[in-house]
Amino acid sequence: MLDIDLLLLSRWLTPVHDFLVPRVGAGARIGFIPTASSIYPDQTWLDLDRSSLRDQGFEVVDVDPELVSAATFTRALSEIDAVFVSGGNVFHLLGALRHAGADRPLVDAVRRGLPYIGVSAGACVTGPDIAPLALLDDPSEAAPLTSTVGLELIDVTVVPHAEGTVGGRGRIDRTRQEFADRPLHFLRDDEALVISGGTTTVIAG
Q: Tell me the C-alpha distance between 105 and 111, whole Å.
A: 10
Q: Decide: 117 and 106 in contact? Cβ < 8 Å.
A: no
Per-residue pLDDT reduced to its tens digit, 123-157: 999 999 999 999 999 999 887 788 999 999 999 99
Query: Domain spans of the chain?
Result: 6-204
Q: Decide: 182 and 129 in contact? Cβ < 8 Å.
A: yes
- The CATH number of the structural domain formed by 6-204 is 3.40.50.880
Q: Tell me the C-alpha distance between 203 and 201, whole Å.
A: 6
- Could you list the active site residues? 120, 161
Per-residue pLDDT reduced to its tens digit, 165-192: 887 888 999 999 999 999 999 999 999 9
Helix (H) or strand (E) holding 110: helix 103-111
Q: How far is C-alpha 15 from the geometric centre of its chain's CA atoms?
A: 14
Per-residue pLDDT reduced to its tens digit, 27-65: 999 999 999 999 999 889 899 999 999 999 999 999 999
Q: Tell me the C-alpha distance between 192 and 204, whole Å.
A: 6
